[in-house]
């Protein structure tokens, strides 16, 4: 046990650090394309309901476990109940699956950053964003950018200069939020058809509802708030005893959701303005942000510069997340496999190459390769967000709900102040969350492999 864990200074320090890790490509890139794909308003509604009930409970639970045990996820689960140690291992595999494909997207962001900064943004807006499709279907360049991104992450972790990057990023985050807001307002006010997009985004249409909406929203919730992968346990282990877990969890959750909501408001109305809400444009998936944004910047006065600044900030948000993902994997590899830090770092780097290069090639040379009907990058995304994370969350609930007992978490939360949502917490952890996860998982597996549909 490490008694010398450093602590975050002050209340705001903890929330900022945790929110800094939570806000990333998940909010800006992933949330908008899922919302567009899964019916707009109905996805948003399901997401918000899940966030304030399930997401909140799981976040409180993970932070409390971390603060109480002062251990990393594997050690923490061992202390909670020996039989659940495997859940700690499960949690730590997730970042290893996420980091490689996260870096592929990080590479796309770098390409757009350099494109706009060198004044070539207009080239990226041609043919309704067809540039992006052409770009990722070329073999070499996306791989070079992916390598650059992952190498940069590795070098930063190697030299231990994360703190510097985090400082820059903290300063950029508020500007990013303001910029997203500005771009949304600009689009909505000046472009024909954008208002329909706003309506599509905020009005729930129940005919678009399916069990897949819930699965997608739940996976996104885990991903975006860095839950069910041990990250918040680790964060909690550094949290001071006099800071309210409940208030912090609420603040992180609200901040993360606001950023995601605004990113959707920036992208979905623009899709309507440029393509009239064409279902194909809405359903295009991971490329949505990259084909839509250059078109906005192209018509916006000063759009080239705003575009460059925007991609710079997204780049920093992505970089802080990739650093934190890599840190997590490296520290587990050092502890559990007894590797030296450098060996661990090099191994993680090589593993990222092995998993990341195919993710990138999945759009070009290997575009015909499908795993369970999914593209390679989508497959990794699916395995982590829709399979492993729900399973980890399920076992966390069972472990805390029935073995360690919710009181363990409640006592830790009440260390500072009365736990206002303690009833919600207990009911969520014991009954609602585990039952929902099982139902959702079973139906999604069935619908992936059979013709079963809900």
Which lies closer to ligand TRP via its Cβ, residue 325 or residue 376? Answer: 325
Based on CB atoms, which residue is closest to ligand TRP, 306 or 388?
Answer: 388
Tokens of 199: 């309506």
In this structure, what token pair is assigned to residue 379? 């497959």
CB of 106 to ligand TRP, least distance (A): 10
| DSSP string across 3-44 | TT-----HHHHHHHHHHHHH-SHIIIIIHHHHHHHTTTHHHH
Q: Which is nearer to ligand TRP, 194 or 217 (CB)?
A: 217
Nearer to ligand TRP, 13 or 133 (CB): 13
Distance between CA 199 and CA 222 in Å, rounded?
26
- 214 vs 325 by CB, closer to ligand TRP: 325
Which residue is associated with the tokens 């706009």? 116
Q: Provide the 8-state DSSP code for 279.
A: H
Beta carbon of residue 231, minimum distance to ligand TRP (angstroms, whole number): 5
Residue 414 CB contacts under 8 Å (≥ 6 apart), including other chains = none
How buried is residue 69: exposed, middle or buried, by Cβ count under 10 Å (0-12/13-18/19+)?
Answer: buried
Q: What is the secondary structure of 242-255 as a DSSP string?
A: TS-HHHHHHHHHHH
| For ligand TRP, the closer CB: 172 or 325 | 325
Cβ partners under 8 Å of residue 360, min gap 6? 104, 107, 136, 142, 143, 146, 377
252's CB contacts (< 8 A; 6+ apart) are: 15, 18, 19, 22, 59, 225
Q: Which CB sits closer to ligand TRP, 26 or 40?
A: 26
By CB under 6 A, name the binding residues for ligand TRP: 21-22, 24-27, 95, 98, 223-224, 226, 229, 231, 321, 324-325
Q: For residue 43, which phi and psi values (nearest 5 degrees)? A: -65, -45
CB of residue 274 to ligand TRP, shortest distance in Å: 25
C-beta neighbour count of 362 within 10 angstroms:
24
CB of 22 to ligand TRP, least distance (A): 5
| Residues facing 371 on adjacent strands | 374
Least distance in angstroms from the C-beta of 27 to ligand TRP: 5
End-to-end CA distance of the chain: 48
- Closer residue to ligand TRP in complex, CB, 21/295: 21
Q: How far is the CB of 153 from ligand TRP (least distance, A)?
A: 11
Q: How far is the CB of 130 from ligand TRP (least distance, A)?
A: 27
Structure tokens at 328: 């997590």
Rounded (10°) angle between helices 389-398 and 56-69: 70
CA angle 189-190-194, nearest 5°?
A: 70
Q: What is the DSSP letter of 374?
A: B
- Closest to ligand TRP by CB, 22 vs 391, is 22
| Rounded least distance, CB 224 to ligand TRP, Å | 4
Select 121 or 230, whichever has its Cβ closest to ligand TRP.
230
What minimum distance in Å lies between the beta carbon of 235 and ligand TRP? 9
Least separation in angstroms between CB 146 and ligand TRP: 17
Least Å from the CB of residue 178 to ligand TRP: 19
Triad 389, 398, 61: Cα angle to 5°: 70
**Shorter beta-carbon distance to ligand TRP: residue 248 or 443:** 248
């Amino acid at each position: 046990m490490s008694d010398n864990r450093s602590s975050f200074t002050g209340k705001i320090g903890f929330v900022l650090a945790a929110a800094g890790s939570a806000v990333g490509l998940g909010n800006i890139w992933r949330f908008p394309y899922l919302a567009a794909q899964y019916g707009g308003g109905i996805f948003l509604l399901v997401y918000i309901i899940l966030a304030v009930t399930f997401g909140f409970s799981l976040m409180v639970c993970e932070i409390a476990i971390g603060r109480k045990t002062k251990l990393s996820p594997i050690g923490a689960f061992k202390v909670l109940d020996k039989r659940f140690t495997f859940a700690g291992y499960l949690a730590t595999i997730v970042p290893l699956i996420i980091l490689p494909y996260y870096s592929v997207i990080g590479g796309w962001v770098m390409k757009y950053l350099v494109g706009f900064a060198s004044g070539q943004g207009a080239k990226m807006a041609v043919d309704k964003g067809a540039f992006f499709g052409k770009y990722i279907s070329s073999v070499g360049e996306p791989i070079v950018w992916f390598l650059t991104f992952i190498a940069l992450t590795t070098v930063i972790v190697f030299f231990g200069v994360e703190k510097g990057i985090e400082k820059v990023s903290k300063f950029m985050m508020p500007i990013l939020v303001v910029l997203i807001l500005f771009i949304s307002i600009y689009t909505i006010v000046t472009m024909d058809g954008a208002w329909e997009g706003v309506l599509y985004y905020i009005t729930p249409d129940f005919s678009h509802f399916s069990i897949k909406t819930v699965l997608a929203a739940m996976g996104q919730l885990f991903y975006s708030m860095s839950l069910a992968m041990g990250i918040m346990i680790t964060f909690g282990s550094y949290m001071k005893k006099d800071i309210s877990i409940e208030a912090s969890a609420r603040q992180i959750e609200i901040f993360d959701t606001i950023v995601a909501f605004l990113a959707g408001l920036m992208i979905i109305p623009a899709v309507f303005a440029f393509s009239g809400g064409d279902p194909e444009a809405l359903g295009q998936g991971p490329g949505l942000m990259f084909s839509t944004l250059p078109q906005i910047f192209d018509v916006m006065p000063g759009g080239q510069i705003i575009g460059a600044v925007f991609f710079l900030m997204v780049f920093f948000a992505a970089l802080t997340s990739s650093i934190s993902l890599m840190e997590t994997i490296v520290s587990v590899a050092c502890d559990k496999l007894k590797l030296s830090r450098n060996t661990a770092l090099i191994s993680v780097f090589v593993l990222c190459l092995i998993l990341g290069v195919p993710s990138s090639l999945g759009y070009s040379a290997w575009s015909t390769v499908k795993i369970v009907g999914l593209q390679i990058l989508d497959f990794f995304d699916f395995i982590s967000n829709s399979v492993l994370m729900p399973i980890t969350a399920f076992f966390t609930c069972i472990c805390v709900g029935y073995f360690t007992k919710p009181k363990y978490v409640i006592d830790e939360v009440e260390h500072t102040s009365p736990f206002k949502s303690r009833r919600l917490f207990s009911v969520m952890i014991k009954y609602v969350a585990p039952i929902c996860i099982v139902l959702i998982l079973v139906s999604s597996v069935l619908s992936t492999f059979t013709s079963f549909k809900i």
